[in-house]
Amino acid sequence: MNPLQFFAASRLVVVAGKGGVGKTTVTAVMARAAAECGLRVLVVEVEGKPDLAGLLGDADFTESTKAGYQAQRLVSDLGPDSNGSIELCHLTSERALIEYLDQHGFRRVSKRLASSGILNVVSTAAPGIGDLLILGKVKQIERAGTYDLLLLDGPAAGHAISFLQSASGLLDAAKVGPIQAQAKDVVEMLADPARCQVVLVTLAEATPVNELVETAFALEDRVGVALGPVVVDAVDGGCELDEAIAATMGVATLAAAEFRNRRRVVQQAQIARLAVELPLPSLQLPLLLTASVTPADIVRLAEKFIVSINEMVG
C-alpha cells in the first residue's frame, strides 16, 4: 500500500492497546512516518500519559518538555524541503470543561465549577463526561482542518473501550442540552471510517494478543468504530545460526543465538494466532535491543514502518 494513501485513510487515528505494549512508541513512529510523507500531524496526548515530546524531539534530546493544552510545534529534523510537521498537545478534561463552559454561555461559573473539584462529582453523576469533553475537543480540531492527521495516544488497557463509548452512553443519558449535541457530533465522527479509525497495538505475546482480540470485537460491536491495521510491536527477527560454526565460538555465543531463535518461535506462534483470530491486516515493528527508546530510534522505526506499509496488502 502507498504510505500517503495509508495515512490519508482517515483524519483521526486513535492508537489503543494494553499497558506496556509500546503504544506511545507506536504513536511517535506513526507521527514521524506521516510527517515524512509530507503531512501536517497533530499528536494528542490525554490525561495521565507519559510525554511524547521527548520521543519526537531533537535527536540529542536530554529531558522531555511538558506538552501543553495548546498545540506546540516540536523541533524535528524533517528537513527544510519537507511540507510535513509535527505538533503536540496535551488535553485534560478539566481544561476541556472550562473551555466548553466558556463557549456555551457559562463563563461566569466555569472557573468556580472547575476549582471546587466539581468535575469529579459531575463525572460520577454522568459517567464518561470527561472523556466526551476530550473527544469533543478532538472533534473540533478535526473539523477545523488545520491538520492532515490527528494521532490520539489513547488511554491504556480496557479504558479505550469506555473512552470511545462515552459519547453513545451520554447520548442515551442526556436527552437534551449541549452535552447531548456534543455527544451526537462525536458519535457521528466515530462512526465515519473516513474521519476516524482505531489502530490497535500489541506485542507478539499471549496476554496482549488475547486482550487485543477482545478489544477489537468490543470496539466494532459496541462503539461501531472502524479498525485500521494492527501494529505488532517489538518483533524479534531471531539470529541466523550455523551450528557447526557456533560450536567453535563458545557456549555464550550459541546460547545467545538459540535464545533469540526460541523467542522468535514463541512470537511467530502468537502472530499466527492473531492472524487467525482477527482478520485485519497487520504491520510489524522490529524489536529494539535497548532499555530506553530515543528520538533516533523513532526515526529508524519510522523508516521500517513505511517499508512495512509498502509491503502491506490493503
Partner 1 sequence: MSLTELIDESAVIVCSGSGGVGKTTIAAVIAIEAAKRGRRSVVVTIDPARRLADALGLDNLTNEPQVVAIPGSPASFSALMLDTAATFDELVHRYSVDSTQAEKILANRFYRNVTGALSGTQEYMAAEKLFALHHDERFDLVVVDTPPTRNALDFLDAPGRLTRFLDHRIYRALTTPTRLGLKIANVAAQTVLKTIGRIVGGDVIADVIAFFQAFEGMEGGFKQRATEVIELLHSDTTHFVLVASPRSDTITEACFFADRLNEQGLRVSGVVVNRLYPLFAETSGAAETPDTSDSPTTTSSDAATSARGAPKRTTDASEQALRDNLTELRGVAAEERAVLAPLLAVAPIAALAEIPLLDHDIHDLEGLGIIGGHLLVDVTRV
**Near partner 1 in 20-49, by CB under 8 A:** 20-21, 24, 48-49
| In the complex, minimum distance from the CB of residue 284 to partner 1, in angstroms, rounded to a whole number | 14
Residues 282-311 that bind partner 1 (CB under 8 A): 289-293
Q: Does 15 bind partner 1 (CB under 8 A)?
A: no
Q: Does 177 bind partner 1 (CB under 8 A)?
A: yes
Contacts of 63 (CB under 8 A, 6+ apart): 54
Residue 105 parent element (H or E): none
Size of the site for partner 1 (CB under 8 A): 77
Contact by Cβ (8 Å): 99, 137: yes
Among 176, 276, 279, 313, binds partner 1 (CB under 8 A): 176
String of DSSP letters for 210-237? HHHHHHHHHIIIII--EE--EEEEEE--
Q: Does 247 bind partner 1 (CB under 8 A)?
A: no
Rounded to whole angstroms, the Cα distance separating 202 from 271 reads 10
Spatial CA neighbour of 224 closest among 161, 282, 277, 171 = 161
Residues 55-74 that bind partner 1 (CB under 8 A): none
Q: Does 276 bind partner 1 (CB under 8 A)?
A: no
| 8-state DSSP, 57 | S
The one segment of 3-11, 27-35, 138-146, 155-163 that binds partner 1 by CB under 8 A: 155-163
Q: Does 128 bind partner 1 (CB under 8 A)?
A: yes
Q: Does 260 bind partner 1 (CB under 8 A)?
A: yes
What is the chain's length?
314
The one segment of 27-35, 111-119, 139-147, 223-231 that binds partner 1 by CB under 8 A: 111-119
Sort 115 into a burial class: Cβ within 10 Å, 0-12 / 13-18 / 19+: exposed
Draw the binding track, 200-239, toward partner 1 (x: CB under 8 A; -: no contact).
Answer: -----xxxx-xx-------------------------xxx
